Chains A and B, each alone.
Chain A
């Protein structure tokens, strides 16, 4: 990295060219650059937004740079803040570059909050610039970090890392594969983007540095012994702590999330002070660890038989090279891997934890959930003109596919003064679905029904509040109107079912808590495992719930009726599973009209997400494989490499799984992900529909046939009708 960069800075003063010196590494420290995963965008005259960046433990911030683009037309100032400290003022109409020197005091509990708001000059028209935006993008946070690898579990399991690699042996056992995948899901659940979590099957020495860490998964023959070492006084203090402090377990999700892992960190003699240990233990206790099964010590894991009393958990141990070894008997590995999602692990300063048992953090929103439980902690708007705020209501948060939603919003609004006008618009995914006029009533209630045709995987409910004061002008400043939505009383009722058409958008909600993964026939084991890890990481990024993995065989996948992912998809499986594109010597689109057939254009990676009909009903599948899938073909090796690249690309994409759209995605030698649009076909009738149609038609035909037949008479003379004489 170049030490000197010339930037056009808008920092504290008029726009001018300025040369900014980037921080320099030293013999004991290095410089890291953390790119903001998301752009920061504000809307309208009262726009205000913020985002957080997580700094890895032990790092200190040095510099923040970004670019702000604006569409505002009025004179004013765009203000950029770091943890509330005003670090840049930019012209509202033009935006500009941001360069801010940072100090350790800009970090609060590992978080740096980057904010932006706008101050516009006095205006008569309340609605000018109400739809204008300013966007802060290309944000980079430079920080200094020590070059020594982590020496404790707490510092190893730290947010803000650039990459976490889970490494299983090249000839990994089933238990190691399963634990590797569960570890990926757990770490991806624990650490949101930009931390990248990958899985590799390799026997090579792990790569470890301060920002890129490796978790080694190894199956051992014996169980963890019971602790043989006496905890230090600090550890005892930690274990007896009964703090009720609260903690948030789900990154970026809700405050109601609860860590359900059974890990309890017990500080060892390496804990700096008793006070620190107690503080950490308080937080650990607040994470509501349930079973106190884990023991801490400083000894290496046992390797021999008869090491001690049998226990159900595995071992976590920081190695001398800085990697974290996750080991244990086959039946304990997965549970220990699941525990990696537990926030309490970050608090443990020791090197070894035994009997680590985890349960997945799976507590999806119930069928009747409050807005607050979905992450909308507060919805409040105050001012004149137009104000807007949005709430995300995403299917994965419910842990299943949804067919419809019913949202009951309850709130309070300022009474409308005489002569003023105002209304609240409810906009669902950009579509106005309801509107309420301001009145003398202070109660606000709205019932929004969202049908399957309006429901996507990710959805945004925007609440736009428009208010014009009685004067009709914003100058001089009138009394502001205010709207508050009570997120604890506002209810979201969901109904399970399908709303999203078959394709990548049906995942991860199609899975529920467990993802079935199978490794197919195409490609090496290492390749397929790595692809599965990348896809799982991408999938996990879309849900606030922790996923777990069931590793199954391809045969089980084909005979099962559950949703699943298949990597290394070969030629036959595309035919057997009814994928949209079937691969043989040609690529064929299944049963469209007209039928489409094309020669294979070259080495490709092909991902398909589709609905597969089984005896147990329809289910969603996602398969990834190379084209050609035949090892005898010349392009096979190239196609395998591209398939690896495909999965890696998805995992690294800012949108992760959401980078895949439609039903078929390919990656070729150009390096560009492409969606292959499928010809629109009339969806085939379901079996039930076919049976109903045939039955109804048959019944009509039968009744008509019986009617006609019942009227016919045989040939020949008509015999006299009996009963011509009466006995009366």
Chain B
């Protein structure tokens, strides 16, 4: 019994520490993000024509979306453009759809079984190898140096902003910038779930990524991720830059930071992607992210690098440990609910109003505060928008807590593989 009580206390204490540290760091990132946005505004405009823009589009059975995706990329305003669609062993007619698109910059890299369908990382590595050994060897592209080649990844359901190269090139004008992540938006915000997914991405980009960018420590996010070819080369193994993690983008970003490259968020452009209206399918996606995060966190030693020092290292560490902290807090909540329901131990200290307010603030304060990114630059109206969005977003974050356990469960049972997110029927993108 005594041991049980001590364990309870330890868990309670760890949860408190996680909440305090996580909450505190949220406010630090908010301040850093504000400074980053102001600094970015001072930089000269980007020059997209200085770069060769290479887009990797991984596609596994994307017959429904791939034409739309390629057509969006056709609209991208870049003079020097190559689009490499990786047909990763599709058997739904994706290849035929691609074959019927008559567009010169489009190159289809077809992978066939048994080499296909081994995960997104392998597909991207294949494309990377194809880029180096084939595309860039072609006469038309031979003049481009690795520092001038920007490799972007757009998911098959992605709709990249046509002006993205202009915004992104502003970041790559700094030679140390090795990776840029653009904002991810949800284009089908027609329900509570999709609206909240859109808000979640806004919070991720506007709060976390902008804050990290102040220190050049932004992570990569897969869809809408842009890397300098020389940066990818500097971290590439025999297999290629991407490794077999479920969150290969995050892992790649970590290695870039450790190598000394700067990572930045581009707040001025975006890639649209499809939101999910089905809760079960929605759970699968963040569960995969959670599992991938937990895979990455097993190697914190990689943070101990020469060029990843000071606050960049601290932030990278906290980013890696975020899933652990989420698990601790989620477990604490579950235990507290159990004690409340079955042992009648109060869930909240009702007899101590001040303490109760503090605990409630700790529980929902940081999440609510994170929605303040909606208010950035919008004055009083922005504040009203943020306030209106706080309650539903807090509810959404509580709704998504089970994914932490599902991700952990998947990791413990050794589940691997590219659990592709299901697509919904294509709807027209709203007018921008």
Contacts and interface: CB of A to CB of B under 8 A. Distances in A.
Interface of A: 615-617, 688, 691, 694-695, 698-699, 702, 706-707, 709-714, 718-719, 721-728
B314 interface: yes
A400 to B, nearest CB: 13
Contact of B306 (A698, A699, A709, A718): A718
A725 to B, nearest CB: 6
Contact of B355 (A688, A694, A714, A727): A688
B175 A706 contact: no
Contacts of B145: 725, 727
- Which of B12, B173, B260, B311 has the largest count of A CB atoms less than 10 A from its CB? B260
Contacts of A616: 346, 351
Given A616-B351, A714-B305, A722 B176 contact: yes
Given A688-B355, A721-B260, A695 B309 contact: no
A725 B174 CA distance: 10
Interface stretch (B13-21, B117-125, B128-136, B282-290): B13-21
Contacts of A726: 147, 175
A723 B261 contact: yes
Nearest to B304: A714
Given A694-B13, A723-B261, 7 more contacts: A616-B351, A698-B17, A706-B314, A706-B317, A710-B310, A723-B178, A727-B148
Contacts of A718: 306
Given A710-B309, A711-B309, A719-B259, A725 B147 contact: yes
Contact of A722 (B21, B148, B173, B178): B178
Interface in B349-401: 349, 351-352, 355
B51 A691 contact: no
B307 A710 contact: no
A713 B307 CA distance: 8
A723 B304 CA distance: 20
A699 B51 CA distance: 46
B172 interface: yes
Contact of B176 (A707, A710, A723): A723
Given A617-B352, A710-B313, A711-B309, A723 B17 contact: no
Interface in B322-361: 345-346, 349, 351-352, 355
B408 interface: no
Nearest to A699: B20
Given A688-B355, A710-B314, A723 B175 contact: yes
Contacts of B147: 723, 725-727
Given A694-B13, A695-B20, A727-B147, A722 B306 contact: no
A727 B51 contact: yes
A712 B175 contact: no
B313 A695 contact: no
Nearest to B352: A617
A714 B306 CA distance: 6
Nearest to B12: A691
B16 A691 contact: yes
B340 to A, nearest CB: 11
Nearest to A721: B260
Interface of B: 12-13, 16-17, 20-21, 50-51, 145, 147-148, 172-178, 230-231, 234, 259-262, 304-307, 309-311, 313-314, 317, 345-346, 349, 351-352, 355
15 contacts: A615-B345, A617-B352, A695-B13, A695-B20, A710-B309, A710-B311, A710-B313, A710-B314, A711-B309, A713-B304, A719-B306, A722-B176, A722-B230, A722-B231, A722-B259
- Which of A702, A707, A711, A728 has the largest count of B CB atoms less than 10 A from its CB? A728
B172 A727 contact: yes
B53 to A, nearest CB: 13
A699 B16 CA distance: 11
A712 B304 contact: yes
Given A615-B345, A617-B352, A727-B50, A722 B310 contact: no
A559 to B, nearest CB: 10
Nearest to B256: A722
Contacts of B20: 695, 699
A679 to B, nearest CB: 27
B260 A713 contact: no
Contacts of A722: 176, 178, 230-231, 234, 259-261
A713 B261 contact: no
Contacts of A707: 314
B313 A725 contact: no
Given A691-B13, A719-B259, A722-B260, A713 B309 contact: yes
A640 B239 CA distance: 87
Nearest to A698: B17
Nearest to A617: B351
A287 to B, nearest CB: 36
B310 A711 contact: yes
Nearest to A706: B314
Contacts of A699: 17, 20-21
Nearest to B344: A615
B172 A702 contact: no
Nearest to B169: A727
B171 to A, nearest CB: 12
Contacts of A714: 304-306
Contacts of A688: 352, 355
B309 A723 contact: no
A256 to B, nearest CB: 30
Nearest to B50: A727
A542 B117 CA distance: 84
A651 to B, nearest CB: 33
Contacts of A617: 349, 351-352
Contacts of A615: 345-346
A691 B14 CA distance: 11
B359 to A, nearest CB: 11
A699 B13 CA distance: 12
A688 B16 CA distance: 12
Contacts of B175: 723-727
A719 B310 contact: no
Nearest to B301: A714
Contacts of B346: 615-616
Contacts of A713: 304, 306, 309
A616 B339 CA distance: 13
A723 B307 CA distance: 12
Contacts of B310: 710-711
Nearest to A694: B13
A617 B356 CA distance: 13
A91 B261 CA distance: 104
B230 to A, nearest CB: 7
Contacts of B259: 719, 722
Contacts of B21: 699, 702
Contacts of B262: 723
A133 to B, nearest CB: 46
A615 B16 CA distance: 19
A712 B303 CA distance: 11
Given A695-B20, A710-B310, A711-B310, A723 B174 contact: yes
A560 to B, nearest CB: 11
B157 to A, nearest CB: 31
Nearest to B234: A722
List 8 tightest A-B contacts by C-beta distance, closest first. Answer: A723-B176, A723-B175, A710-B313, A726-B175, A718-B306, A710-B314, A722-B260, A706-B314
